[in-house]
Amino acid sequence: MSSRGKKIFLAITIIVPMIIYCYIYYKPIIQNAPFRKDDFVSMQFKYGLKDPLENSYDSSTGAYQYVNTKDSVVKKTVLLKSDDILYMHRKANEIGLWNFPDTIGKKSDKSRMVPRYDITFNYKEKSKHVVIYGDFDGNPKLLDAAVQMRKVIQETLTQAERRSGK
SS3 labels along 7-37? HHHHHHHHHHHHHHHHHHHHHHHHHCCCCCH
Beta-carbon neighbour count of residue 143 at 10 Å? Answer: 16
Buried-state track 28-62, b at ≥16 Cβ within 10 A, e below 16 = eeeeeeebbeeebeebbbbbbeeeebebbbebeee
Longest dimension (CA), the chain: 85
CB 108 within 8 A of CB 131: no
Residue 9 confidence (pLDDT) above 70: yes
Average pLDDT value for residue range 87-103: 85
Q: Phi/psi of residue 162, each to 5°?
A: -65, -40
Average pLDDT value for residue range 115-130: 89
Give pLDDT, residue 44: 94
For 116-152, give the DSSP string.
EEEEEEEESS-EEEEEEETT--S-HHHHHHHHHHHHH
pTM of the predicted structure, to 2 decimals: 0.73
Under DSSP, is residue 55 helix (H, G, I), strand (E, B) or coil?
strand
Give pLDDT, residue 110: 62
Give pLDDT, residue 108: 66
Per residue in 105-114, pLDDT tens? Answer: 777 666 567 8
Average pLDDT value for residue range 101-122: 80
Beta-carbon neighbour count of residue 122 at 10 Å? Answer: 16
Residue 98 burial by CB count (10 A; 0-12/13-18/19+): exposed, middle or buried?
middle
Residue 58 confidence (pLDDT) above 90: yes
Average pLDDT value for residue range 36-50: 86
Residue 149 confidence (pLDDT) above 60: yes
Give pLDDT, residue 30: 67
